[in-house]
Amino acid sequence: MADLNVTFAGVPFKTPVVVASGTFGFGREYGEIFDLSRLGGICVKGLTLRPRLGNPPPRIAETPMGILNSVGLQNPGVDRFIEEELPYLKTLGTNIIANISGETVEEYAEMAEKLSDAGVDLIEVNISCPNVKAGGAAFGTSCDAAASVTRAVKRAARVPVMVKLTPNVTDIAEIARAVEDAGADAVSLINTLLGMRIDINTRRPVLKNNTGGLSGPAVFPVAVRMVWQVRRAVKIPICGMGGISTGEDAVEMMLAGADIVAVGTALFRDPFAAIRVTEGIVRYLDEHQIENVTEITGKVLLN
């Protein structure tokens, strides 16, 4: 069988398949139905410095080939996570990736320090959050803002830092270069695409927050294109995500340039999706007599 071991941002992964933040909670529910050590890593639900109740419902709506969500980062806060959830996660035999969100650069840095001290394996920095000190524009839509968050987190963190890029920009490669120059150890992409649905009977948006983030198979071609663009722009590793549902999807994302991949929305339809994706990668490698999964990263043959 092909070798699935990957070293990503200096961290060894037993498989290149992880589960995406916001789709797996803190792992407890999934741990009741399969052995979580079979995953390359768990990216936990997005954390903020203080607890958040999230947005009012309705905040999730099904769409053709995807989900529109505006959950609003509901979470217990970083301190409760460290006290109540991380001890359990550290027993699972897989990498733990903490996803952090903040309203200020200082909040990001404080969380990075706390989580580093607590012993997570990587920190994923969600820069799709509004910068309250700069008029509410998302950190990830400005090279300067994205770089400032990255530098602050890198100064505070003692584990590798992966910056999660928003697709809601004109040039995602430009943002990727900015965070690489600021010291990011890796990037992950794509976060959700901004979308909206309207109930034609009530004439109101289906989400209470009016708009939300679109994920699922509908965004997959966009994600592949953006991973390919970023791979050509930076040298740091890439975690590719956005609509991956099958092993073939994962291979396609890796050919575009991803070193590892994250499975998210597919888990809502099939809790075993990440395992099935892993098995699909193995089948592809064996069928093509490829010894190590790292051999396919970035190997797309352009027309």
pLDDT of residue 132: 63
pLDDT of residue 47: 97
Residues marked active site are found at 129
139-176 b/e (C-beta count within 10 Å ≥ 16 → b): bbbbbebbbbbbbbbbebbebbbbbbbbbbbeebbebb
| Rounded Cα–Cα distance for residues 193 and 273 (Å) | 22
pLDDT of residue 175: 98
pTM: 0.97
| Rounded Cα–Cα distance for residues 244 and 263 (Å) | 6
**Among the residues of the chain, which ranges form H helices?**
28-31, 78-80, 86-89, 105-118, 143-156, 172-181, 220-233, 247-256, 266-269, 273-287
Question: φ, ψ for residue 99 (rounded to 5)?
Answer: -95, 125
Give residue-wise pLDDT tens across range 249-266: 999 999 999 999 999 999
Give the chain's residues under pLDDT 50.
none
User: What residue ranges define each of the domains in the chain, with the CATH number in brackets?
Assistant: 6-296 (3.20.20.70)
Q: Are 69 and 268 in contact (CB under 8 A)?
A: no
Give residue-wise pLDDT tens across range 135-167: 667 899 999 999 999 999 999 999 999 999 999
pLDDT of residue 130: 73
pLDDT of residue 108: 97
| Rounded Cα–Cα distance for residues 242 and 215 (Å) | 6
